[in-house]
Structure 1
Amino acid sequence: MGRRGHGGQGLARVAVVVRAGAAPLCWLGVFAAGIGVLVPGVTGRRIGVMTGAALFIVATAVTAYGGRKRYMALARGAARAGKYDVLQDRAVTVRGWRLGHRWWLLAAVVAALGSSFAVPAAGGMLLAGTGAGLWLKAAWLGRRERADEALLWVRVDWLGRCGGAPAGKPVKGYRGTGVAAGDVAPGGARRRTAELV
């Protein structure tokens, strides 16, 4: 989805794009760690799990805090969404991100499973930490949106040029709407039915 009639653009919620990878990474990480812990590995299970716990913490922190300056700069310069801009539904955004990254996700879980023969469970816990970091970053975006009383949107065609990264170099700026726009609450969670009425 790109340019629309009358100069409008297709827009996806920034927080939804960030949050889209959280659940699959967490579940795939838990799966890979669960299978991996059954393998003795080179280091042994105890060292593998301890290493995995450290990697989980590091991955969560790096993912949650990485790139925040870029997000804040784009948010500060957000222009008001136009009358003819089309706000993409949450389900469409999530499905598009996950379809676009399906081979990357598969490769990541295969790599995590393979690493268990060396360091049991560590690769899976690294994946899970990355997913947790994305969830925390989306929650941080949600707090900013509530504080500013404005939801942040990114052009869909720009997302396509940067591999689905909502703060990638091709993204020149965000669009803003009121907090009632679209079908998503601040932070990227599905809006409750009561909020839609």
Structure 2
Amino acid sequence: MTPDFSKYTDGLMPVIVQDAQTLEVLMLGFMNEAALAKTREEGKVTFYSRSKQRLWTKGETSNHFLLVVEILVDCDRDTILIKAEPQGPTCHTGDISCFGTANDQFSLQQLERVIIDRKNNPSEQSYTASLFAKGINKIAQKVGEEAVEIVIEAKDDNEDLFLGEAADLMFHYLVLLQAKGFSLSDVLKVLETRHKK
């Protein structure tokens, strides 16, 4: 469905951005036709900034882009919903959402965002950043080591050790995905395709 920008005298249509994985509402912005065209063309959410009086791509200074997964238009054609993959905090305050964190339950998506942030903004104190600095071979080796360790713990009855190794494997696996240029959503797409067969 095509949005009807003529419904607004200023040509600015409200746009709700939602995390494509968690479905959490991240922010509200406004688009004109040019902003929507740029969003579709580049795959990064671009708004019309009323304060700057120009097109503004979310993340243009912070690198916390909102990568477009899906664009939907409501039944009245006067509101846009964009499902996106955030590349870091959405809010300028550092929160995931401009509405605060609606869901305090920790998720793999939140962990992935932290990993992306450590990759893009490395510090000497960060273990994750040190893995990226060592390169793909070291990261892959760590995944292999953690996989062996979880297999060993699976044969015993110590739940704490087993779950600890499961967490280590999951963490290093997510780091490996990022090092290879992929995300958890890419893997979920493969699983979804297999599920439909």
> Could you say whether these structures have the same fold, taking a TM-score greater than 0.5 normalized by the shorter chain as the test?
no
Give the structure with the larger helix fraction: 1
Q: Which has the higher contact order (CA 8 A, sep 6+)?
A: 1
- Mark the structure with the bigger radius of gyration: 2
Give the structure with the larger strand fraction: 2
Return the TM-score normalized by structure 2: 0.24
